[in-house]
Structure 1
Amino acid sequence: MRRRDVQRVPNIRYRDAGRRNLLDIYRRRDAPQNAPVLNYFHGGGYTGGAKNREARPLLYQLASQGWVCISANYRLRPQTTFPGHQIDAKKVIAWVREHAPEYGADPSGLFVAGSSAGSNLAALCALTPNDPVFQPGFESADTSVTAAICLYGYYGHYFGDPPDEPPPPLQPQGYIHPGAPPFLIAHGTKDALATVEGARNFVDQLRRASDSTVVYVELPGGQHAFDVFHSPRFEAVVDGVEAFAAWVLAAPQRTPDQPVSLFL
């Protein structure tokens, strides 16, 4: 999955919680300037996972195309609980706004992405720009994003919440609004951990409320964690992410009722 033309700059500190507040930067070795940014959060159910596990084909592919990609750790249970994970995710975005230009990035094109629990974080980041609840001590930082990419996300109840009640507002669907940025959501039909029905419900709510385009892709037979290994299925998803990102960057003025051509 590694590419000779891509440099990984590891273990940059963005906050003070030790290794859980480190991030890696992927960029092309010739250090392109004014590059768009992908900010990625790993999965693991808020209890495990690491910044160098999932989505590496995506990170290396976009970096080889001239992007600056950032993959970040964040605090996990029991070290923290909600909204601690989300505060860390917002801090990463604030760090990107301030420091990514030092690595050739232009944060005016900032995409947030994640897998499983990281998808939940990415979606909530996209739906809560500059919300002071998730930015204690850095309320003035710009945490808005250009678009969100959600891979096999979990959109249900947090630990300990009654399963027979609606998801609490700390879940992304509690923050859906007309001004949401464009979304690309990909989910496997055989996901045994984060059900495809949950993804369909989240997409339906987004499409009913948002003024931006919502692209939804179902992967027939796809299971959870389909981005851990390099596979034809994930190669197709990577191609789709590239097409979606190029469309968003090239045509930000496009309206939601105009067609989107993505070939997966």
Structure 2
Amino acid sequence: MNDVQVQSNLRVAEVDGFEIAVDVYRPDIDNPPAVIYLHGGGWQLGDKKDGADDRLARLASYGIAVVSANYRLAPQGSYPNPIHDVKAVVRWLRAHGAELGVSTDRIGVWGASAGAYLATMVGLTPGDDELEGVVGDDLDQSSRVDAVVHWFGPSDLAANAGRSWIESHLLPPPFEKALLGEDEVAAPSDTSWNASPLSRVTSLAPPFLIAHGDRDRITLSAQSHALHDALVSTGARSTLLVLGGAGHEGPEFDQHDHLGITAAFLSAHLRG
């Protein structure tokens, strides 16, 4: 394992009074590859410091620099604003990697839950006019990423938000309302489909590592199976891991063996 140095609250950009910033967890090696991490929280809560010790620093100890970013949350964070923010972070990292002492020839993106959704949308939409945005000062840089780690996120927003009449009384309101708005969740349209990763899958997708718990009752594992199947059907590369007994954000995801698999995937695809 490598020692990890942390730089906190590095400013990326400001948009509508919100400051996009990152914390960098850098292993003590020369020019490590870098992955951008995006926290979960249903697009409504959470912070870039979530999991700082158990997840982010631990992953970095395997030799991968982790750049944990914040992004606009609801109500500012309606679609596509958070995607614009993350693409700004990718461009910023590509522009400033040398200053940070990390390699940016190839960049990965990794997210959990709502963050997995954002990571996946960024991975699947390089150069997309609608989703590129104009956030930040590094618009001359590419927002392309070279590997995606998707942990227990939604791939079809309308399907994930669906509720029967009894479920609507027993379960919390769908988190997708914060991203898409209540009307779109109540009556899904092309908007919710176009905002879903499944609608964006092509053979040009970067390699994916998808992990989901088989006891997840917030985002069913079927969402990850659908994303994996869609990627593979186009000829894109995808690996699907099902963690037995794990629920949503279960501690199994932060165990050394699973983080080791995640680090190995990133290393394989980000090192020259």
Q: TM-score range by the shorter chain?
A: 0.7 to 0.9
Matched, 1:146 2:146: yes
> What is the TM-score with the length of structure 1 in the denominator?
0.83
Deviations 1:4-47 (A, max 9, x none): 9211111111111466511101113x4x3322001000000010
Which residue of the partner structure matches residue 100 of structure 1? 97
Deviations 1:207-263 (A, max 9, x none): 111x3320000011110012xx5x58632220111222233246x8xxxxxxxxxxx
Matched, 1:246 2:267: yes
Deviations 1:65-105 (A, max 9, x none): 33321000100001231000110011110111011221111
> What is the TM-score with the length of structure 2 in the denominator?
0.81
Q: Is residue 189–residue 218 contact of structure 1 (8 Å, CA) maintained in 2?
A: yes
Amino acid in structure 1 at the alignment position of 2:245? G
CA distance in 2, matches of 1:247, 1:163: 42
* 2:5 maps to which of 7, 19, 22: 7
Aligned-residue offset at 1:61: 2.9
Note closer, same or farther for the CA distance 1:8–1:249 as it changes in structure 2 (3 Å cut).
Answer: closer
Q: Is residue 23–residue 72 contact of structure 1 (8 Å, CA) maintained in 2?
A: yes
CA distance in 2, matches of 1:63, 1:21: 21
Matched, 1:215 2:236: no
* Structure 2 counterparts to residues 192-203 of structure 1, below 5 A: 192-203=217-228
Q: Secondary structure at the match of 1:174?
A: helix
* 1:54 maps to which of 28, 46, 51: 51
Amino acid in structure 2 at the alignment position of 1:181? P
Q: Which runs of 4+ in 1 moved over 4 A?
A: 17-20, 163-167
**Does 53-62 or 7-16 show the bigger shift?**
53-62
Instruction: Point out the structure with the larger helix share.
Output: 2
Unaligned runs of 5+ in 2: 158-175
Q: Is residue 152–residue 186 contact of structure 1 (8 Å, CA) maintained in 2?
A: yes
Which residue of the partner structure matches residue 194 of structure 2? 169
Aligned-residue offset at 1:154: 1.9
CA distance in 2, matches of 1:62, 1:176: 27
**Does 40-49 or 168-177 show the bigger shift?**
168-177
* Structure 2 counterparts to residues 36-51 of structure 1, below 5 A: 36-51=33-48
Aligned-residue offset at 1:118: 0.2
Identical-residue share of aligned pairs (%): 31
Q: Is residue 54–residue 254 contact of structure 2 (8 Å, CA) maintained in 1?
A: no
CA RMSD of aligned residues (A): 2.4
